[in-house]
Amino acid sequence: MSWIWSRTLLAVIVAIVMVPIVAGGWQLLLPGLRDQPTTQAPTPEQRIVLPDPRERGDVALEEVLARRRSVRNFTAEPLTLDRVGQLLWAAQGITAPWRGLRTAPSAGATFPLEVDVVVGEGAVAGIAAGVYRYVPAGHRLEARATGDRREALAAAALGQPWISDAPITVVISADTARTTARYGERGHRYVFMEAGHAGQNLLLQAEALGLGSVPIGAFRDTQVAAILELPREEVPLYLLPVGQPAR
Ligand SMILES: Cc1cc2nc3c(=O)[nH]c(=O)nc-3n(C[C@H](O)[C@H](O)[C@H](O)COP(=O)(O)O)c2cc1C
Protein backbone atom coordinates (compact mmCIF):
# COMPACT_ATOMS: atom_id res chain seq x y z
CA MET A 1 0.00 0.00 0.00
CA SER A 2 1.36 3.42 -0.92
CA TRP A 3 2.15 5.87 1.88
CA ILE A 4 -0.71 8.17 0.73
CA TRP A 5 -3.25 5.38 1.19
CA SER A 6 -1.75 4.46 4.59
CA ARG A 7 -2.05 8.05 5.81
CA THR A 8 -5.63 8.34 4.50
CA LEU A 9 -6.59 5.13 6.28
CA LEU A 10 -4.99 6.37 9.51
CA ALA A 11 -6.89 9.68 9.26
CA VAL A 12 -10.21 7.83 8.80
CA ILE A 13 -9.57 5.61 11.86
CA VAL A 14 -8.63 8.63 14.01
CA ALA A 15 -11.81 10.46 12.88
CA ILE A 16 -14.04 7.45 13.72
CA VAL A 17 -12.62 7.25 17.26
CA MET A 18 -12.31 10.97 18.00
CA VAL A 19 -15.52 12.48 16.61
CA PRO A 20 -17.92 10.82 19.11
CA ILE A 21 -15.56 11.60 21.99
CA VAL A 22 -15.23 15.27 21.07
CA ALA A 23 -18.98 15.53 20.44
CA GLY A 24 -19.69 14.27 23.94
CA GLY A 25 -21.08 10.99 22.62
CA TRP A 26 -18.34 9.04 24.38
CA GLN A 27 -20.92 7.74 26.86
CA LEU A 28 -22.41 5.76 23.98
CA LEU A 29 -19.17 3.78 23.86
CA LEU A 30 -19.66 2.80 27.53
CA PRO A 31 -23.16 1.39 27.93
CA GLY A 32 -22.77 1.25 31.72
CA LEU A 33 -22.62 5.01 31.92
CA ARG A 34 -25.80 5.56 29.90
CA ASP A 35 -27.92 5.70 33.00
CA GLN A 36 -28.65 9.37 33.33
CA PRO A 37 -32.37 10.13 33.66
CA THR A 38 -33.88 11.55 30.53
CA THR A 39 -35.69 14.29 32.45
CA GLN A 40 -34.15 17.75 32.99
CA ALA A 41 -30.74 17.84 34.65
CA PRO A 42 -31.18 18.01 38.44
CA THR A 43 -29.98 20.99 40.44
CA PRO A 44 -27.23 20.33 43.03
CA GLU A 45 -29.86 20.45 45.84
CA GLN A 46 -31.70 17.57 44.19
CA ARG A 47 -28.64 15.31 44.31
CA ILE A 48 -27.95 13.10 47.31
CA VAL A 49 -24.63 11.31 47.40
CA LEU A 50 -25.13 7.99 49.17
CA PRO A 51 -22.65 6.60 51.71
CA ASP A 52 -20.18 4.16 50.13
CA PRO A 53 -21.67 0.65 49.91
CA ARG A 54 -20.14 -2.14 51.97
CA GLU A 55 -18.65 -5.08 50.08
CA ARG A 56 -18.30 -7.24 53.18
CA GLY A 57 -21.23 -8.28 55.36
CA ASP A 58 -21.87 -10.01 58.69
CA VAL A 59 -23.75 -13.01 57.35
CA ALA A 60 -22.93 -15.76 54.83
CA LEU A 61 -24.75 -15.85 51.50
CA GLU A 62 -26.00 -19.38 52.26
CA GLU A 63 -27.64 -18.19 55.48
CA VAL A 64 -29.28 -15.30 53.66
CA LEU A 65 -30.63 -17.67 50.99
CA ALA A 66 -31.95 -20.06 53.63
CA ARG A 67 -33.63 -17.29 55.66
CA ARG A 68 -35.18 -15.10 52.94
CA ARG A 69 -38.97 -15.03 53.14
CA SER A 70 -41.51 -12.55 51.79
CA VAL A 71 -42.34 -10.04 54.54
CA ARG A 72 -45.63 -8.10 54.47
CA ASN A 73 -45.73 -6.63 57.99
CA PHE A 74 -43.49 -3.69 58.69
CA THR A 75 -42.89 -1.40 61.66
CA ALA A 76 -42.88 2.37 61.11
CA GLU A 77 -39.18 2.55 62.04
CA PRO A 78 -37.32 4.85 59.63
CA LEU A 79 -34.45 3.54 57.52
CA THR A 80 -31.01 5.10 57.45
CA LEU A 81 -29.70 6.55 54.19
CA ASP A 82 -26.81 4.14 54.54
CA ARG A 83 -29.17 1.14 54.36
CA VAL A 84 -31.18 2.59 51.49
CA GLY A 85 -27.92 3.09 49.57
CA GLN A 86 -26.84 -0.48 50.31
CA LEU A 87 -30.16 -1.88 49.00
CA LEU A 88 -29.92 0.17 45.79
CA TRP A 89 -26.31 -0.82 45.29
CA ALA A 90 -27.31 -4.49 45.61
CA ALA A 91 -29.94 -3.99 42.90
CA GLN A 92 -27.91 -2.03 40.33
CA GLY A 93 -24.67 -0.72 41.87
CA ILE A 94 -21.56 -0.44 39.71
CA THR A 95 -18.90 -2.99 40.61
CA ALA A 96 -16.48 -2.52 37.67
CA PRO A 97 -16.25 1.27 37.28
CA TRP A 98 -14.24 1.45 34.06
CA ARG A 99 -16.60 -0.87 32.17
CA GLY A 100 -19.72 0.22 34.04
CA LEU A 101 -20.67 -3.35 34.95
CA ARG A 102 -23.09 -3.87 37.84
CA THR A 103 -24.08 -6.21 40.68
CA ALA A 104 -26.72 -7.81 38.42
CA PRO A 105 -25.89 -9.22 34.96
CA SER A 106 -27.28 -7.54 31.85
CA ALA A 107 -27.73 -9.03 28.35
CA GLY A 108 -24.92 -7.57 26.25
CA ALA A 109 -24.41 -4.95 28.99
CA THR A 110 -27.33 -3.00 27.52
CA PHE A 111 -28.61 -2.04 31.02
CA PRO A 112 -32.32 -1.48 30.39
CA LEU A 113 -33.26 -1.12 34.07
CA GLU A 114 -33.90 2.06 36.06
CA VAL A 115 -34.40 2.02 39.81
CA ASP A 116 -36.49 4.54 41.76
CA VAL A 117 -37.29 4.70 45.44
CA VAL A 118 -40.58 5.99 46.83
CA VAL A 119 -39.84 7.47 50.25
CA GLY A 120 -42.53 8.14 52.86
CA GLU A 121 -42.79 11.12 55.24
CA GLY A 122 -40.13 10.70 57.96
CA ALA A 123 -39.28 7.29 56.50
CA VAL A 124 -35.61 7.81 55.70
CA ALA A 125 -33.48 9.85 58.09
CA GLY A 126 -32.21 12.98 56.37
CA ILE A 127 -34.32 13.00 53.20
CA ALA A 128 -37.77 14.36 52.43
CA ALA A 129 -40.72 12.30 51.26
CA GLY A 130 -40.72 11.90 47.49
CA VAL A 131 -39.52 9.84 44.56
CA TYR A 132 -35.79 9.51 43.96
CA ARG A 133 -33.90 7.93 41.08
CA TYR A 134 -30.83 5.83 41.78
CA VAL A 135 -27.90 6.85 39.59
CA PRO A 136 -25.43 3.95 39.61
CA ALA A 137 -22.54 6.04 38.20
CA GLY A 138 -21.73 8.11 41.27
CA HIS A 139 -23.89 6.01 43.63
CA ARG A 140 -26.32 8.81 44.26
CA LEU A 141 -29.99 9.73 44.29
CA GLU A 142 -31.67 12.39 42.22
CA ALA A 143 -35.00 13.81 43.38
CA ARG A 144 -37.74 13.37 40.77
CA ALA A 145 -40.97 14.19 42.62
CA THR A 146 -42.02 15.41 46.05
CA GLY A 147 -44.55 14.26 48.65
CA ASP A 148 -45.47 10.98 50.29
CA ARG A 149 -46.80 8.81 47.43
CA ARG A 150 -47.06 5.52 49.33
CA GLU A 151 -50.87 5.52 49.66
CA ALA A 152 -51.27 6.20 45.94
CA LEU A 153 -48.76 3.47 45.11
CA ALA A 154 -50.59 0.97 47.36
CA ALA A 155 -53.87 1.84 45.61
CA ALA A 156 -52.21 1.31 42.21
CA ALA A 157 -51.05 -2.10 43.48
CA LEU A 158 -54.67 -3.22 44.00
CA GLY A 159 -54.70 -1.92 47.58
CA GLN A 160 -51.85 -4.05 48.94
CA PRO A 161 -51.38 -2.41 52.36
CA TRP A 162 -47.73 -3.41 52.87
CA ILE A 163 -46.81 -0.77 50.31
CA SER A 164 -48.27 2.09 52.36
CA ASP A 165 -46.91 0.57 55.63
CA ALA A 166 -43.29 0.14 54.48
CA PRO A 167 -41.02 3.19 54.83
CA ILE A 168 -39.83 2.80 51.23
CA THR A 169 -40.74 0.96 48.05
CA VAL A 170 -38.08 0.37 45.45
CA VAL A 171 -39.46 0.35 41.90
CA ILE A 172 -37.61 -1.39 39.08
CA SER A 173 -38.59 -0.12 35.63
CA ALA A 174 -37.22 -0.80 32.16
CA ASP A 175 -36.54 1.06 28.95
CA THR A 176 -36.86 -2.12 26.90
CA ALA A 177 -35.69 -0.52 23.64
CA ARG A 178 -32.14 -0.39 25.00
CA THR A 179 -32.09 -4.19 24.83
CA THR A 180 -34.43 -4.88 21.87
CA ALA A 181 -32.33 -2.49 19.77
CA ARG A 182 -29.62 -5.12 19.93
CA TYR A 183 -31.54 -8.38 20.33
CA GLY A 184 -34.90 -7.70 18.64
CA GLU A 185 -37.96 -9.48 20.07
CA ARG A 186 -35.81 -11.71 22.26
CA GLY A 187 -34.75 -8.61 24.17
CA HIS A 188 -38.17 -8.57 25.90
CA ARG A 189 -37.45 -11.76 27.78
CA TYR A 190 -33.95 -10.59 28.63
CA VAL A 191 -35.37 -7.46 30.28
CA PHE A 192 -37.74 -9.50 32.47
CA MET A 193 -34.88 -11.79 33.47
CA GLU A 194 -32.79 -8.77 34.45
CA ALA A 195 -35.57 -7.35 36.61
CA GLY A 196 -35.60 -10.72 38.39
CA HIS A 197 -31.84 -10.61 38.94
CA ALA A 198 -31.93 -7.08 40.33
CA GLY A 199 -35.01 -7.80 42.45
CA GLN A 200 -33.49 -10.93 43.98
CA ASN A 201 -30.27 -9.06 44.75
CA LEU A 202 -32.30 -6.47 46.65
CA LEU A 203 -34.35 -9.12 48.50
CA LEU A 204 -31.17 -10.88 49.63
CA GLN A 205 -29.52 -7.63 50.65
CA ALA A 206 -32.60 -6.73 52.71
CA GLU A 207 -32.41 -10.07 54.49
CA ALA A 208 -28.68 -9.63 55.12
CA LEU A 209 -29.39 -6.25 56.74
CA GLY A 210 -32.11 -7.72 58.98
CA LEU A 211 -34.81 -5.98 56.92
CA GLY A 212 -37.81 -7.48 55.16
CA SER A 213 -39.26 -7.15 51.66
CA VAL A 214 -41.70 -8.74 49.24
CA PRO A 215 -41.60 -8.66 45.44
CA ILE A 216 -44.82 -7.21 43.99
CA GLY A 217 -45.93 -7.93 40.44
CA ALA A 218 -49.64 -7.13 40.80
CA PHE A 219 -50.18 -3.45 39.96
CA ARG A 220 -51.63 -1.19 37.27
CA ASP A 221 -48.71 -0.15 35.07
CA THR A 222 -50.10 3.19 33.91
CA GLN A 223 -51.00 4.29 37.45
CA VAL A 224 -47.59 3.36 38.84
CA ALA A 225 -45.88 5.15 35.92
CA ALA A 226 -47.96 8.28 36.62
CA ILE A 227 -47.25 8.22 40.38
CA LEU A 228 -43.52 7.94 39.71
CA GLU A 229 -43.66 10.45 36.82
CA LEU A 230 -41.69 7.99 34.72
CA PRO A 231 -40.41 9.03 31.28
CA ARG A 232 -42.67 7.67 28.50
CA GLU A 233 -40.19 5.02 27.41
CA GLU A 234 -40.01 3.37 30.85
CA VAL A 235 -42.36 0.64 32.09
CA PRO A 236 -42.55 -0.35 35.77
CA LEU A 237 -41.87 -4.07 36.29
CA TYR A 238 -41.40 -4.73 39.97
CA LEU A 239 -42.27 -3.04 43.29
CA LEU A 240 -40.26 -3.96 46.38
CA PRO A 241 -41.44 -2.44 49.66
CA VAL A 242 -38.70 -2.63 52.31
CA GLY A 243 -38.78 -2.06 56.05
CA GLN A 244 -38.09 -3.41 59.50
CA PRO A 245 -40.13 -6.63 59.87
CA ALA A 246 -42.85 -6.47 62.56
CA ARG A 247 -42.24 -9.51 64.75
C1 LIG B 1 -43.15 -12.30 39.97
C2 LIG B 1 -43.71 -12.28 41.36
C3 LIG B 1 -44.79 -11.49 41.64
C4 LIG B 1 -45.29 -11.43 42.95
N5 LIG B 1 -46.31 -10.55 43.23
C6 LIG B 1 -46.74 -10.43 44.50
C7 LIG B 1 -47.75 -9.49 44.82
O8 LIG B 1 -48.26 -8.76 43.98
N9 LIG B 1 -48.13 -9.39 46.12
C10 LIG B 1 -47.58 -10.15 47.12
O11 LIG B 1 -47.98 -10.00 48.27
N12 LIG B 1 -46.63 -11.07 46.83
C13 LIG B 1 -46.19 -11.23 45.56
N14 LIG B 1 -45.18 -12.11 45.27
C15 LIG B 1 -44.56 -12.89 46.36
C16 LIG B 1 -45.01 -14.35 46.36
O17 LIG B 1 -46.36 -14.44 46.84
C18 LIG B 1 -44.07 -15.15 47.28
O19 LIG B 1 -42.77 -15.08 46.76
C20 LIG B 1 -44.50 -16.61 47.39
O21 LIG B 1 -45.68 -16.72 48.15
C22 LIG B 1 -43.42 -17.48 48.02
O23 LIG B 1 -43.09 -17.02 49.34
P24 LIG B 1 -41.61 -16.55 49.73
O25 LIG B 1 -41.27 -15.34 48.92
O26 LIG B 1 -41.67 -16.24 51.20
O27 LIG B 1 -40.67 -17.67 49.44
C28 LIG B 1 -44.69 -12.20 43.98
C29 LIG B 1 -43.60 -13.02 43.67
C30 LIG B 1 -43.11 -13.06 42.39
C31 LIG B 1 -41.90 -13.91 42.09
Summarised one tens digit per residue, pLDDT across range 68-113 is 999 999 999 999 999 999 999 999 999 999 999 999 999 999 999 9
| 79 and 2 within one domain | no
pLDDT at 28 over 50: no
| 38 and 27 within one domain | no
**Alpha carbon distance 109, 107 (integer Å):** 5
| 145 and 23 within one domain | no
Q: How far does CA 175 lie from the centroid of its chain?
A: 12
Cβ of residue 70 lying under 6 Å from some atom of ligand 1: yes
| 126 and 61 within one domain | yes
- Kindly give the pairing relationship between strand 140-146 and strand 130-135: antiparallel
| 60 and 13 within one domain | no
64, 65, 69, 70: residue to mutate for ligand 1 pocket, most atoms within 8 A of CB: 70
Summarised one tens digit per residue, pLDDT across range 132-185 is 999 999 999 999 999 999 999 999 999 999 999 999 999 999 999 999 999 999
pLDDT at 13 over 90: no
| 126 and 19 within one domain | no
Give the per-residue pLDDT at 62. Answer: 98
pLDDT at 238 over 90: yes
pLDDT at 18 over 90: no
**Structural domain count, the chain:** 2
**Alpha carbon distance 84, 245 (integer Å):** 15
Domain that holds residue 106: 34-243
CATH code (residue 187): 3.40.109.10
Give the per-residue pLDDT at 19. Answer: 45
Average pLDDT over residues 22-48: 48
| 150 and 180 within one domain | yes
Counting atoms of ligand 1 from 1, which one is nearest the CA of 199?
A: 31
Give the per-residue pLDDT at 247. Answer: 77
| 8 and 45 within one domain | no
Give the per-residue pLDDT at 46. Answer: 81
Global pTM? Answer: 0.85
Cβ of residue 105 lying under 6 Å from some atom of ligand 1: no
